[in-house]
Homo-oligomer: A and B are copies of this chain.
């Protein structure tokens, strides 16, 4: 199943180009599993979901570690009916079977809890879309329940859910939201914003 992301990194500093170039190098361990194309607005990454989220996490942590206020935005998608398939993305989601919602929430929580901490704080928000499916709101509410139990839920906001925690837990929670909710072989899209070192939090 085709999966990928359009990713942008916004370091709020005059030296933003260097912060971005260093962050791109931090993705090297995952780059060979991904097809990567960059233009002036975003970087496309196509590949299996584990590598996608590992690469985004590495990008974020590199920028966060500079101490500058920086934000990562990603539009992440799987199973979009308008996209051609790509062998680089093949994986277990293609099997097309999902267990009951409660079972998936438990599996997702286990994965988040097993993720080693990065020591870097991440504050962000995301929206989950299941276009073209009538199960949309059930899956969205099920996903929000999982986030509350996984310890990364910050608050409900209009149009999105706010997350806060160690960057490893936040990115793994987003990864789990991506693969365990919606329909297994269907279209799922995320609109993700993750912020590091916001001066608003230091007041």
**Chain A residues packing against B (C-beta within 8 Å):** 4-6, 8, 10-14, 16-17, 39-42, 44, 46, 69, 71, 73, 75-77, 80-83, 123-125, 127, 129-134, 136-137, 140-141, 157-160, 162, 187, 189, 191, 193, 195, 198-201
Contact = CB atoms under 8 A, between A and B. Distances in A.
A23 to B, nearest CB: 13
Complex A-B, nearest 3 residue pairs according to Cβ-Cβ distance, in ascending order:
A40-B200, A10-B10, A12-B16
Contact of A189 (B12, B157, B159, B162): B159
A134 B132 contact: yes
Contacts of A132: 130, 133-134, 136-137
Contacts of A42: 125, 157, 193
Contacts of A191: 75, 127, 189, 191
Given A82-B137, A131-B129, A75 B160 contact: yes
Given A131-B136, A193-B42, A4 B159 contact: yes
B17 A14 contact: no
B14 A13 contact: yes
Contacts of A83: 158-159
Given A12-B12, A44-B158, A129-B131, 12 more contacts: A4-B158, A4-B159, A5-B159, A6-B158, A10-B71, A12-B16, A13-B13, A42-B125, A44-B157, A75-B127, A77-B159, A131-B131
A85 to B, nearest CB: 12
